[in-house]
Chain A
Amino acid sequence: MSEPLLEVRDLAKRFPIGGGFLSRRPAAELRAVDGVSFSIAEGETLGLVGESGCGKSTTGKMVMRLLAPTAGRIAYAGEDVAGMTDDRTRWFRQQVQMVFQDPFSSLNPRKTVAEIVGQPIALLGEDGGDRRRLRERVFELLDMVGLDPNHANRYPHQFSGGQRQRIGIARALAVRPKLIVLDEPVSALDLSIQAQIINLLTDLQREFGLSYLFISHDLNVVEYLSHRVAVMYLGKIVEAAPAEALFRAPKHPYTQALLSAVLSEDGGSAPMVLEGEIPSPMAVPSGCRFRTRCPRAEPRCAEVEPALEPRAATHRAACHFPVS
């Protein structure tokens, strides 16, 4: 086992709610991410799945250092990112890039495609000042993601959603990163376009040995793209396993419910419908956070929080009464 490229330990993000201009004390606390640990090896894709509001995007932002964690540790290539000097931060930014969910919001409407794709190179690349080389690199990148380099001088509004997402991917690739955080990169796109973008992402991964942190709520997409999958519920990972094992034999009742909702289309088993809403992250249930909606819940679940423990060699689930 080599050292993982990215290692996240007990990562937490709590947002104070309320508290105004003069009062310093917040009225409540929102636990968006509540102690999350995972690692990503070189060339590997980790799928991070969960319903909206479960903290998966917040986790992605913390990995990108766009948000400061409340607690926990993020290490990239064995180096704690919190302790990085400006120089190392610059290196980190070059190593880790991001593709955003909304292809409309993620491209500045006032900039040309060449300016957008060239921005990371101009800011992080050693050759940012060499205009001719920058231009060549931009054309090469556009070509790489399947766009016509002829369109480099156009503005984002002249492209479709799928093309815009390709521009976003070209921007992320510009400085040759090793790890790309993909925050729901296809959920804003049509189904046919989704497939194209996913194929593009797989091709790029193979070609450049990229690692992906793939954040999504769409299990079909996750299954297709991920090597390993971590399922998040209310700020915590409840199950983590290699994709194949997780989809074949989920151990956590929540994962089981998620999967049954997807697979029911095939006419297999009846979907397992979860009762109620996802609880507020401002009032997380005691013990197991899933117990309020869990069909297998017992008194013990309200008292002791289950740890994320191995159920098989590489399969971990946080449940007192796992599905066998």
Chain B
Amino acid sequence: MTDAMQDFSRAELEAGRAAREAWEARAKRDARKPESSLRLLWTALKRDKLAMASAVFLLLVALATIFAPWLAPYGPNEANPSLRLEPPLTEGHLLGLDGQGRDILTRLLYGGRVSLPIALIPVAIATFISVILGLIAGFYRKGVGEVIMRVLDIFYAFPTVMLAIAIAGILGPGMMNVMLSIVIVLIPYITRVVYTATMVVSEEDFVQAARACGASDTRIIFSEVLPNVMSPVIVYGTTTMGLQVVFAAGLSFLGLGVQPPIADWGIMTASGRDVLSVAPHVSTIPGIVLLLVALAFNLVGDGLRDALDPRLRL
């Protein structure tokens, strides 16, 4: 009685086979591959020159920091006191030297190894947690969802920076604690993005259609809803990465993050504060790098937003 597929009549199987053969013949002829979403995304993204340039820039920055030990002309803490505060384009020191006579280019390269992961890893972790929380909250809006969102509302009540400073202050300075505070600060925001998207998608008829086929909640959440909420999450995550790089640097600047003498873009900016009038390059150069990286993340995020918009795809 339950066999939907067993009772194929011979004629039906023949029809199916004929249809498949016709399809395969035609498929061979026009060699059409199924267009994957990733391929469509790439086609759309390629058109956005600014986003592409930003992505290339970020890739170069990432590669440069990864290969810092091979690229950097000096050691990160190697000091040459006789040349302290010398401006950029000094012989052998392209971007000049800081207050302790350390090469700024070298420290920028090494600094990226702290400043980038300290921002990007928390964003990735927070996104993962938020996607799960947001999916559950958006799908089971009454009950569990209500509890999740109300708890997150409490976090919303605090200004982001204050909350992060408070958390980092309580936990004490250090790289791990900065990352943890960024995760905690980000979760309410990303969760809300996922929650809203999930709410909209859950109302769509294809969710009902899946239910009418006896799909379980878990299957509906992960196979029907999740692929449709990823676009806003990817866009939000990418855009916020730039902000978090600045934010993590800001915590270091305030002395709550990584501690000197470790190179970090925030610490470098902070260290030039006292000599801003005599040697402005010490602070401004890492500041400009921060700015460019943050801007690039934003532009990539914007590009992804446009590329992921199905109305622009065809």
Give residues in A with beta carbon < 8 Å to B. Answer: 21, 61, 64, 66, 87, 89-91, 93-94, 97-98, 100-102, 105-112, 116, 119-121, 123-128, 130, 133, 135-137, 139-140, 142-143, 149-150, 152-155, 157-158, 168, 171, 175-176
Q: Is the interface of B mostly helix, strand, loop or mixed?
A: helix
On chain A, the residues within 8 Å of B208 by CB distance are 61, 66, 98, 100, 106
- Are B4 and A139 touching (Cβ within 8 A)? no
Given the interface contacts A66-B211, A127-B5, A149-B23, does A108 sit within 8 Å of B146 by beta carbon? no
What are 16 A-B pairs with beta-carbon distances under 8 A? Answer: A89-B214, A94-B2, A105-B205, A105-B206, A110-B37, A110-B227, A116-B206, A119-B213, A126-B3, A128-B5, A133-B5, A143-B15, A150-B26, A150-B27, A153-B34, A155-B35
The CA-CA distance from A127 to B6 in the complex, in Å, is: 7
Complex contact B213–A136 (CB within 8 A): no
Residues 290-314 of chain B, each 1 if its beta carbon lies under 8 Å from chain A, else 0: 0000000000000000000010011
CB B38 to nearest CB in A, in angstroms, measures: 12
* CB-based contact B146/A150 at 8 Å: no
B16 contacts A by Cβ under 8 Å:
yes
Q: Which residues of chain B are near A93, meaning CB under 8 Å?
A: 212-214
Please provide the 6 A-B residue pairs with the shortest distance between their CB atoms, ordered closest to farther. A153-B34, A136-B16, A127-B5, A106-B205, A139-B19, A110-B227
Q: Which residues of B contact A135 (CB under 8 A)?
A: 20
CA distance A175 to B1 in the complex (A): 12
Judge if B48 is at the interface, Cβ distance under 8 Å.
Answer: no
Interface residue range, chain B: 35 or more
Residue B215 CB within 8 A of the other chain: yes
In the complex with contacts A137-B16, A140-B15, A91-B1 CB distance below 8 A: yes
Q: B20 touching A139 by the CB < 8 A rule?
A: yes
Q: Are A140 and B227 in contact (CB under 8 A)?
A: no
Asked whether, in the complex, the Cβ of B314 is within 8 Å of the Cβ of A124, the reply is no
Q: Smallest distance from the beta carbon of B177 to chain A beta carbons, Å?
A: 34
The reply to whether B19 and A136 form a contact with Cβ atoms under 8 Å apart is yes
| B20 x A136 contact (CB < 8 A) | yes
Assuming the contacts A91-B1, A143-B19, asked whether A120 and B213 have C-beta atoms less than 8 A apart, the reply is yes
Residues of A within 8 A of B26 (CB): 150
Point out the residue from B15, B204, B310 that lies within 8 Å of A105, measured CB to CB: B204
Chain B residues whose CB sits within 8 angstroms of the CB of A21 once the complex forms: 146, 150
Q: Which residues of B contact A107 (CB under 8 A)?
A: 206
Return the chain A residue nearest B207 by Cβ.
Answer: A108
Q: Which residues of chain A have C-beta atoms less than 8 A from B310's C-beta?
A: 109, 157
* Contact status of A125 and B5, CB under 8 A, knowing A110-B37, A143-B19, A157-B313: yes
B22 within 8 A of partner (CB): yes
Determine the distance from Cα of A78 to Cα of B287 in the docked complex, in whole angstroms: 76
Q: Is the CB of A98 within 8 A of B212?
A: yes
Within 1-56 of B, Cβ neighbours of A (below 8 Å) are at: 1-7, 12-13, 15-17, 19-20, 22-23, 26-27, 32-35, 37
- Judge if B228 is at the interface, Cβ distance under 8 Å: yes
Q: Given the complex, which residues of A lie within 8 Å of B32, measured CB to CB?
A: 153
Beyond A126-B2, A136-B17, A153-B32, list 10 extra A-B contacts (CB 8 Å). A89-B214, A109-B310, A119-B215, A126-B4, A126-B6, A136-B13, A136-B19, A139-B19, A157-B314, A176-B7
Residue of A89, A100, A130, A153 near B209 (CB, 8 A) is A100
From A183, which residue of chain B is reached at the shortest CB distance? B205
Residues of B within 8 A of A98 (CB): 208-209, 212
Min Cβ gap A309→B in Å is 35
A123 touching B204 by the CB < 8 A rule? no
Report the separation of the CA atoms of residues A142 and B20 in the bound assembly, to the nearest whole angstrom.
11
The answer to whether B210 and A119 have CB atoms under 8 Å apart is yes
Contact partners of A119 in chain B: CB under 8 A: 209-210, 213, 215
A257 to B93, CA, bound (A): 90
A152 touches B23 (CB 8 A): yes
Q: Which residue in chain B gives the minimum CB-CB distance to A140?
A: B16
Q: How close is B9's CB to chain A, nearest CB, in angstroms?
A: 11
Are B34 and A139 touching (Cβ within 8 A)?
A: no
Say yes or no: A123 contacts B214, CB within 8 Å: yes
A135 to B13, CA, bound (A): 11
Alpha-carbon separation in the docked complex, A154 to B37 (Å): 11
Contact A110 B12 (CB under 8 A): no
Complex-state Cα separation, A9 to B55, whole angstroms: 63
Contacting residues, chain B, for A150 (C-beta < 8 A)? 22-23, 26-27
Query: What are the residues of chain B within 8 A of A128 when measuring CB–CB?
Result: 5
